A and B are shown apart, each in its own frame.
Chain A
Amino acid sequence: MTGFAELVAATNYSFLRGASHPGDMIKQAIALGYAGIGIADRNTVAGVVRAWSALREKNEEARHLSGHDVDLKLVVGARLVFCDGTPDIIAYPANRHGWGRLCRMLTEGNKQAAKGDCLLTFAHLTEFCDDLLLIAMASDEHEEILRRLLWRARGSLWLSATMPYNGDDRRRLVGQQALASRLGIPLIATNDALYAEAGDRPLQDIVACIREGMSMAQAGRRLFPNAERHLKSPREMKRLFRDAPDAIAQTTAFLGRVEFDLSQLHYEYPHEPVPDGWEPQEWLEHLVRNKLPERYPSGLTQEGLKKLQIEFDLIRAKNYAYYFLTVHDVVEYARGKGILCQGRGSAANSIVCYVLGVTAIDPIREKLLFTRFLSEERDEPPDIDIDFEHERREIVMQYIYDRYGRDRAGIAATVIHYRPRSAVREVAKALGISEDIVRRLTGTVWGSFSGSMEPERYRQAGIDIENPQIIRLKALVDRLLNFPCHLSQHVGGFVLTDGRLDEMVPIHNAAMPDRTFIEWDKDDIDALGLMKVDILALGMLTCIRKAITLMKQWDVGDYQLHTIPQDDPATYAMLQKGDSIGVFQVESRAQINMLPRLRPKELYDLVIQVAIVRPGPIEGDMVHPYLRRRAGKEKVEWPSPKPPHDPNELKEVLGKTLGVPLFQEQAMNLAITAAEFSHADANQLRHSMATFRNVGKMERFEEKLVTGMVRRGYERDFAKRCYRQIEGFGSYGFPESHAQSFAILVYASSWIKCHHPAIFACAILNSQPMGFYAPAQLVRDAREHGVEILPIDVNHSGWDHAIERGRDGSLALRLGFRLMDGFNRNWAEAVERARTVQPFASIERLARDAGLPSRALRLLSDADALQSLDMGRREALWEARRTPAGSLPLFEHAAAREIGDEPDARLPALQPWEEVTTDYQTTRLSLKGHPMQFLRPIFQAEGVMSCTDTCASGNGRIVRTAGVVLVRQRPGKGNAIFVTMEDEGGIANVVIWARLFERYRRQVMTSRLMLVEGEVQRSEEGVVHLMARRIVDRTGELNKLMLDEAIKASASDDRDGPSTVSLAGHPRNVRIVPPSRDFH
């Protein structure tokens, strides 16, 4: 056998050094007929799983075509780059133990360094080189170091020889041969490859420039002189190494020494959750049986018991007991700490999870099938995501680190890829294209999630696409897109192991303190079948927990998340009206519009409500058919295949949703049932859906799905819609089990809002930032629901918002100091402490007793929080500014005032509009009024209607209305822009079509006060929209509010200079109203 294996191949996971995806390296290696390839990236193994998966896929394809695997052996390791002058060493584990050593070594190096770096020394190498096969990228000058290494690594050290076309290649080869024979180690041939094909050189040069932070013109000899660092054919390698044929033969000999394969990474669950003396399965069954009465007080039905037994059998067969116990352990801990949590994900369909308290959905009641996703065919561990209160999730994370240790627990990585914006910026910089062009180009990219850089983008930016520089830019940007650029930590996916995690995969320090993460991301973890638990943060859980606590405290009910009364008609009535501001998930404009159309009556309706306003169903055009069927306007039927197939085959799949596929699972089952996908196919489809950005895979499925369905007699149109929907799911997959879990939170939050609006408002305001709405809208909404709102006051408020008994005895909301911009928690606590002794009677006492600095006093007086001190706002402000900070010891016990009296300053009287504008500036809301009420005379004179009148107008009327912009949204494909505006009486919802938007872009984007002329459109369900025709920016009116008449006179003749801008001083003060919340 005289094959050749390239053992020194880097991928683009050698960040900014390699220039090919791992999969491309594998593909090229197969095409060239290599005996093997060794993937070794710079101090990392982050890319090896990709390579391994790529080979596995190629093997599957080959098996399908020819019945046997491809002839390529993949060995994986790392290129060790040292910081102490040791030459680069390529290390491959010979066996599983060697892999552990390699991972430990890299972990040690990572720990030494700040994030993203790895500092290795020779000592690390000698400590961890057991069972590692090493290739030294060394030359004569390293002879001494190699001799020292030989003490530890005799028999497993090779010396590399390369032929890089440097002119003196053969002379160097002779030198390497001499060195190898002096050391008594074999010489091994390699091309030290950085990319798959010679044509990848430009890309390699570009990443080198990005790395060095210079342009091509500056980089000069930092770039490689030629394009020889690619994978070369075995024939070519033999020709180059004709003087040293043994060096070629050594490559296959080396390959033969490697027994390790990533499939040997057997996952073992941590043992902690099982008490000594118990088998995991027995302990799990024991736990479940003990807890069964909590969930099913009257016991399970015969059918339920049967299902439970099926689950037990499956868990036993797949040996998943540990997994469920581990998740249970985390959940139990959180419960013990009173931290609300709730599981979702595929395994959440199970009775076991429900009984263990991991999930809140009763799978029997909701008729969910556990086996649907955890089937024996799919050899993957189950997937459970657990949401925790966002403010206290860190406690749970640190518990996991503590319980399992940092060498056994780590967060998964997220690979940060190049996106159009960053790719254009970096490539342009490397090509020396001016910043201005770059700005024009990147300015056309909205958001950062666009996956490609189409020619249209260049044209939009007014850039000549025929220009050579731009052709170059485009060619390279297209190739750099989706390159990994660095690793970051996943939001909360933990990998836990029984053995040392750092012997499975290297661990890094994260940028956040007290966090460590592993090198593999969730796809890698899936591919290797490791277990991952997602510990996620959810603001609504914080809110619900706070609300439950408040309800108990004010004695209006003692509930748990799952004991909140179900099927409450009042709650559903509220939702049917679209009254859902602040409610979980269904509070966006699109959701609010859907509520009156869907008219939810039971929990399952909420499940659908959550899932239906999503890109998947919308792009698949499934929403309207569903609504029509639900309203009884269209017959519920199932598309049928032609005979001989069962005409009702889809009834099973689509029955629950009236024949319209809405959930991810349904799309999957549809593919299996209607297009005869195998389970493996469907599984792959699901995978490509989840990782939609894996370019190119989805197209293959389109063909397969559509032709499959058409062949079986479905209409092509229906098949295409199904595919589009699956595609839509790709970006925002929404399976039924997730929707189920979310629906519970939707219901719980709605119930609290419906029955205890004050408590709900208080809890959600104390959980900010979260959700769609700013505090001002939440407060306003509470007010509209009859809640009395009490202002911030030093004698009553705390840091958090609180509940008090209002004037009429009902619960009222007292605003807290956290609403004030710039106020700090310690000051708030000092105020609360100090007034327990005695209420504050004067600013001076406040300053002295609470030890407040003058800045705090100023903020309090500006925010009108000194009302109970019985001073006018303006006087308080004037007084606060001269009150000395904190306590002066000399005067501590003296009753005398510290500062002398001053003659009355005779400040101008405070105007109501000044009160309101200052409120907005300091707390972003005002309880005293609305800026619009002061402008009403102006608008009334112009015949502009109020929002309330607009909403009451008849369908089709053309009206003009004005208001302060609250929220701008451009959902989905951006065909329409939704703007919510507010005046002193109510809100109005404006719809602006994209074409109109282009005309009024500036007005739409920047108006704080907008005047809209348009047609009132009233839907059957009573939802009113104003379809805009013309938009005027009237923000100037707000600014006028600020100005005294005299100033107005002197400024009015100067509308074009910056002096109007400087008039108002700091931009923050120009804002009478806070900026809107915009969602692209």
Chain B
Amino acid sequence: MTSVRSGNRRYLALWLPWLSIERVIHAGGTQSAPPDAPLATVEKVKGALRLASVDRAAAALGLHEGMSLADARATVPELLVLDHNAYADAILLDRLAEGCTRYTPHVAVDGCDALVLDLTGSIHLFGDETTLIADVQARLARRGLQVRAAFAYGPEAALALARYQRTPVTDEYAAVMRLPIAALQLEAEHETALQRAGLLKIGDIARRPLAAIAARFGEDAVQAIRRMTGEAASPLAFRTVKAPLVFDRRFADPIARTDYVLERLADLAAQAMEALGERGHGGRRFEALFFRSDGLTRRLAIETGFPTRDIKVVMRLFRERIDTLDDPLDPGFGYDMVRLTVPRHEPLAAGQLRLEGQEAHAIQQVEELVDRLSTRLGRERVRRFIPRDSHIPEQAQLTLPAMEASQTQAEWTISPPGNPPLRPLHLFDPPQKIEVIAQVPDGPPHRFHWHKAMHEVSRFEGPERIASEWWKAKDGNPAHGAPTRDYYRVEDRRGRRFWIFRHGLYDEESEHPHWYLHGLFA
């Protein structure tokens, strides 16, 4: 195999030693902390909290990754601890990788804190290597990120130099040979064995017959050495950029017929659905752009409550949208291009058709209706009740835009068969104060005064006692809290049914509790 080193390839490694912490700092997660406090992020490993990353100050105090939080605290009590979020770190690193595509399309992510760029043949575009590094560092510094960068003939060598070599070097190969064997990133056990054999630097090993190394440390070790020295190419996994979902249709002559344009839009939708299907996704937002030959463009957007790949649904929503336009589509001198984009899409598994026929689910029909109504009336105006898990009646449900209201954990309370509903459908907000004559301590009201009328209670049931949420008490004392409510379902002489409550228990909470009407039974 020819040496890759002679191929004049150039790789840039970027190592972000404090990525985790700097991300949190940049996000403002440490604003309350003193500026020079040592920081660390922690995660749970087998039930124990361990440091996942540390910052410069903490590292200087001897803290390191993998240490248990208890040990770290015993050493540095002022240590400020944040939750480790490997996912967010990975996302940030991925975004940085994306940003680096400004230099080259070949960007690979290494581990959780480094990037490798293949810049072979394109360095001159940015000046020379030094100015390129300065540019990268300046850009990352704006995001509060420190980076150590190194160029080399191979990706592993570049990474090793970035991680282990502080000062610039003239002879990269010689510098790599002087690096500790840890830079090879072998298994810990092999690394120790090499150290015990007195082989401490990469050069110590590279100079020996590789067969002797292979017999002891396996083919992987030999590969690692060969890659480090540039004798073998490494299989870098460059991140691939997902093409955005953009579909264009140009017309040879401007088209003035809106229907025709919509038919072509449907063609584009079919392409879009295919592309989405390949990704296992469904679209949540579709945008159509109509380019007029006179340079004007018109943009229309629709959204669905659930990810979809159904052309009919999408096209129907576009038609609904067009129908509701105050200012209808005007082709002018005709359209010369139409574009469909799918800016928002989410995973959607391929659906299984029912064996007995293509009957749509009732739920799905409701969802489609919601989509249509929301498209027609505006998303804020089509709302849906969702149940919430609370004993407090007015907090037991909530309305949300129907398109956002997906499943909730709570369920509606349903009275057992044969029993009347315990709560009315309609609640007053706020409850209306009423004058009541009632028995103490928890007797039913005899009569009450509401809306300038006296209601004589002929039947009642209750009380249903609902205590306040003590964990929201303002002063923190669990014994304090808002008064307890005693709810009664009452019926007056004319058969009208009301839901009323006494606010506060007699004697215990209040001397003269007030009464409120909270709802009407249908």
Interface residues of A (CB under 8 A from B): 165-168, 170-171, 199, 201-202, 205, 216-223, 225-228, 431, 435-436, 439, 443, 467-472, 475-476, 858, 862, 874, 877-878, 881-882, 902-903, 905, 907-910, 914, 918, 921, 1001-1002, 1005-1006, 1033, 1035, 1042-1044, 1046-1047, 1050-1051, 1053-1059, 1061-1067, 1069
Decide if A168 touches B422 in the complex (CB within 8 Å): yes
Bound CA span A475–B464, Å: 29
Cα A862 to Cα B196 in complex, Å, equals 8
- What is the CA–CA distance of A201 and B419 in the complex, to the nearest angstrom? 29
Chain B residues near A217 (CB, 8 Å)? 471
With A918-B196, A1006-B75, A1058-B17 known to touch, is A1065 a contact of B182 (CB < 8 Å)? yes
7 contacts between A and B (CB under 8 A): A167-B462, A874-B197, A903-B209, A1002-B62, A1046-B200, A1047-B201, A1058-B65
**A226 partner residues in chain B, CB cutoff 8 A:** 465-467, 484
Inter-chain contacts of B179 with A (CB < 8 A):
1050
Chain A residues closer than 8 Å to B470, beta-carbon distance: 201-202, 205
- What are the residues of chain A within 8 A of B399 when measuring CB–CB? none
State the main secondary structure of chain B at its contact with A: mixed
Q: Indicate the member of A167, A170, A472, A1055 with the most B CB atoms within 10 Å.
A: A167
Partner of A1066 from the list B82, B188, B471 (CB cut-off 8 Å) is B188
| Across-interface contacts of B484 in A (CB, < 8 A) | 226-227
Q: Which A-chain residue is minimally distant from B73 (CB atoms)? A: A443
Query: Shortest Cβ distance from A462 into chain B, in angstroms?
Result: 9
Residue B128, interface by CB 8 Å:
no
On whether the beta carbons of A166 and B59 are closer than 8 Å, the reply is no
Question: In the complex the two chains form, is A1005's CB within 8 Å of B75's CB?
Answer: yes
Nearest-neighbour CB distance to chain B for A1000, whole angstroms, equals 11
What is the bound-complex CA distance between A911 and B31, given in angstroms? Answer: 51
Among B42, B390, B461, contact of A167 (Cβ-Cβ < 8 Å): B461
Which stretch (B279-287, B424-432, B473-481) binds chain A? B473-481
Task: Look across to chain B and name the residue whose beta carbon is closest to the beta carbon of A443.
Answer: B73
| Cβ of B463 under 8 Å from chain A | yes
Would you call A167 and B464 a contact (CB within 8 A)?
yes
CB contacts under 8 Å to A, within B52-88, are 54, 56, 59-62, 64-66, 69-71, 73-77, 81-83
The answer to whether the Cβ of B180 comes within 8 Å of any Cβ in the partner chain is yes
Please determine whether B473 and A221 come into contact, CB atoms closer than 8 angstroms: no
| Minimum CB distance partner of B59 in chain A | A1058
Kindly identify, within residues 449 to 503 of chain B, every residue whose CB is under 8 Å from any CB belonging to chain A.
Answer: 461-467, 469-471, 473-479, 484, 486-487, 489
Question: Does B123 reach chain A (CB closer than 8 Å)?
Answer: no
Q: Are B75 and A1002 neighbours in the complex by a CB distance under 8 Å?
A: yes
Quick check: A167 and B489 within 8 Å, CB to CB?
Answer: yes
A1055–B64 alpha-carbon span in the complex (Å): 13
Cross-chain contact A166 with B464 (CB below 8 angstroms): yes
Q: Chain A contacts of B467 at CB under 8 A?
A: 201, 225-227
B391:A221 contact, CB within 8 angstroms: yes
Number of interchain pairs (Cβ within 8 Å)? 201
Q: Does A220 lie within 8 Å of B389, measured CB to CB?
A: yes
A472-B476, A1065-B188 given; A905·B212 CB < 8 A? yes
Per the bound structure, the CA–CA distance linking A1054 and B462 in Å amounts to 76
Give the interface centre of A225, A1055, A1063, A1069 by most chain B CB atoms within 10 Å: A225
| Residues from 179 to 199 in B contacting A, C-beta threshold 8 Å | 179-180, 182, 188, 191-193, 195-199
Given the interface pairs A167-B464, A1006-B75, the reply to whether A469 lies near B65 with Cβ below 8 Å is: no
Bound-complex Cα distance A715 to B216 (A): 79
Interface residues of B in 152-187 (CB under 8 A from A): 163-167, 178-180, 182
Across-interface contacts of B42 in A (CB, < 8 A): 439
Docked Cα-Cα span, A1057 to B17, in Å, equals 8
- Chain B contacts of A170 at CB under 8 A? 461
- Considering only residues 77-127 of chain B, those with a C-beta below 8 Å from chain A are 77, 81-83
When the two chains form their complex, are residues B391 and A220 in contact, meaning their CB atoms are under 8 A apart?
A: yes
Whether B410 and A220, one on each chain, are in contact in the complex, defined by CB atoms closer than 8 angstroms, is yes
Q: Could you say which residues of chain A place their CB within 8 Å of the CB of B70?
A: 443
Are A1050 and B461 interface neighbours, CB within 8 A? no
**With A and B bound together, what is the CA distance between A205 and B167 in angstroms?**
61
Q: Are B471 and A472 in contact (CB-based, < 8 A)?
A: yes
Q: Could you tell me the distance between the alpha carbons of A1056 and B60 in the complex, rounded to whole angstroms? A: 6
B81 in complex: contacting residue of A439, A469, A907, CB < 8 Å: A439
Of A221, A436, A918, which one neighbours B82 at CB under 8 angstroms? A436
Contacts of A914 in B (CB 8 A): 196, 198
Contact across chains for B200 and A468 when beta carbons are under 8 A apart: no
Counting contact residues on chain B (CB < 8 A from A), the size range is: 35 or more
**In the bound complex, do residue B471 and residue A202 qualify as a contact, i.e. CB atoms below 8 Å apart?**
yes
Bound-state Cα–Cα, A472 to B480, Å: 10
Q: How far is the CA of A622 from the CA of B466 in the complex (A)?
A: 59
Chain A residues within 8 Å of B486, by CB: 165
- Complex CA–CA separation, A1035 to B196 (angstroms): 21
Residues in A whose Cβ lies below 8 Å from that of B56: 1056-1057
Main secondary structure of the interface of A (DSSP, over half): helix
B412 to chain A, nearest CB (A): 11
Residues of chain A within 8 A (CB-CB) of B462 are 167
CB pair B166–A469 under 8 Å, yes or no, is: no
The interface residues of chain A lying within 8 Å CB-to-CB of B191 are 1065-1066, 1069
Q: Are B62 and A475 in contact (CB under 8 A)?
A: no
**CA of A443 to CA of B75, assembled, Å:** 12
Q: Does B208 contact A (CB under 8 A)?
A: yes
CA separation between A741 and B104, bound complex, in Å? 80
Establish whether residues B476 and A881, one from each chain, have CB atoms under 8 Å apart when the complex forms: no
Whole-angstrom distance between the alpha carbons of A909 and B199 in the complex?
11
Whether B391 pairs with A225 at a CB distance below 8 angstroms is yes
In the complex, chain B residues whose CB is within 8 Å of the CB of A219? 389
B464 touches A165 (CB 8 A): yes
Question: Which 10 A-B pairs give the minimum distances between C-beta atoms?
Answer: A220-B389, A167-B464, A471-B476, A468-B476, A165-B465, A908-B198, A202-B478, A881-B216, A1066-B188, A226-B465
Taking the closest CB of chain B, its distance from the CB of A518, in whole angstroms, is: 29
Cross-chain contact B208 with A472 (CB below 8 angstroms): no
CB B54 to nearest CB in A, in angstroms, measures: 8
State which of A165, A908, A1051, A1066 has its C-beta within 8 Å of the C-beta of B192.
A1066
CB distance from B435 to the nearest CB of A (A): 23
Given contacts A910-B198, A1046-B201, contact A1057 B59 (CB under 8 A): yes
Separation of A219 and B61 alpha carbons in the complex (Å): 42
Q: Is the CB of A1058 within 8 A of B49?
A: no
Taken together as a complex, chains A and B put the C-alpha atoms of A338 and B49 apart, in Å, by: 45
Distance of A729 Cα from B332 Cα, bound (Å): 99
Q: Is B366 on the interface with A (CB-CB < 8 A)?
A: no
Collect the chain A residues with CB atoms within 8 Å of residue B350's CB.
none
A467 to B164, CA, bound (A): 48
Q: Are B75 and A1001 in contact, with the CB atoms below 8 A?
A: yes
Residue of A nearest to B462 (CB): A167
B212 lies within 8 A of A902 (CB): yes
**Assembly CA distance A907 to B200 (angstroms):** 11
CA distance A1033 to B62 in the complex (A): 10
Q: In the docked arrangement, what's the CA distance between A201 and B295, Å?
A: 71
A435 to B69, CA, bound (A): 13
Residues of B within 8 A of A220 (CB): 388-391, 410
Complex alpha-carbon distance, A858 and B475, angstroms: 65
Using CB atoms, name the residue of chain B closest to A170: B461
Distance in angstroms from B478 CB to nearest chain A CB is 4
Contact A225–B461 (Cβ < 8 Å): no
CA distance A918 to B193 in the complex (A): 10
Contact A1065:B471 (CB < 8 A) given known A226-B465, A1050-B165: no
CA distance A1067 to B50 in the complex (A): 14
- Contact yes or no, B475 A471, CB < 8 A: yes
* Cα(A469)–Cα(B471), bound, Å: 8
Smallest CB gap from B216: residue in A:
A881
Q: Quick one: which of A223, A431, A1053, A1057 has the most chain B CB within 10 A?
A: A1057
> Once the chains bind, are A878 and B197 in contact (CB under 8 Å)?
yes
Whether B464 contacts A1053 by the Cβ 8 Å rule is no
Q: Does B241 contact A (CB under 8 A)?
A: no
Bound-complex Cα distance A918 to B195 (A)? 10
A1001 contact set on B, CB distance < 8 A = 74-75, 77
The smallest beta-carbon distance between B521 and chain A, in angstroms, is 13
